[in-house]
């Protein structure tokens, strides 16, 4: 496995994860799918949950951003995820 990783793997996983973190967007997919992808990328950034917390609001769909027009996004990541999931559910109904 190590031989395959050395030959075909990413030589700088952290830099690749940082680039991917800047490119990821929710677009028109469900929030849960978007968040799951963020978590996978954040794991390559040394498991830093704040990496996904800082990216999360910037790359939400326009509908989700509109849902936060009159309220602030919660600071704590678990609360933020819960609120985003509930708002996404309302948007999709």
Identify the residue with better confidence: 75 or 62: 62
Over 90: is that where the pLDDT of 42 sits?
no
* Cβ neighbours of residue 84 closer than 8 Å, sequence gap 6 or more: 31, 35, 56, 60, 64, 73
Q: Which residue has the higher pLDDT, 14 or 70?
A: 70
Assigned domain for 81 exists: yes
Half-sphere exposure for 78 (CA within 13 Å, toward CB):
0
Specify if 3 maps to a domain.
no
Number of folded domains in the chain?
Answer: 1
What is the widest separation between alpha-carbon atoms in the chain?
A: 53
CA atoms within 13 A on the CB side of 79: 5
Joined together, the tokens standing for residue 7 give 């030959």
- 0.75 cut: is pTM over it? yes
> Does position 11 have pLDDT exceeding 90, yes or no?
no
Asked if the model's pLDDT at residue 50 lies above 70, the reply is no
pLDDT of residue 65: 92
Q: Which domain holds residue 72?
A: 11-92
Give the pLDDT score at 48. 67
Is 6 a domain residue? no
């Amino acid at each position: 496995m190590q031989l395959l990783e050395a030959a075909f793997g990413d030589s700088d996983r952290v830099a690749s994860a940082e680039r991917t973190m800047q490119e990821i967007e929710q677009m028109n997919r469900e929030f849960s799918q978007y968040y799951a992808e963020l978590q996978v990328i954040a794991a390559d950034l040394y498991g830093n949950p704040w990496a996904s917390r800082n990216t999360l609001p910037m790359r939400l769909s326009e509908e989700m951003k509109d849902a936060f027009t009159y309220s602030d996004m919660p600071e704590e990541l678990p609360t933020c995820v819960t609120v985003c999931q509930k708002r996404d559910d309302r948007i999709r109904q």
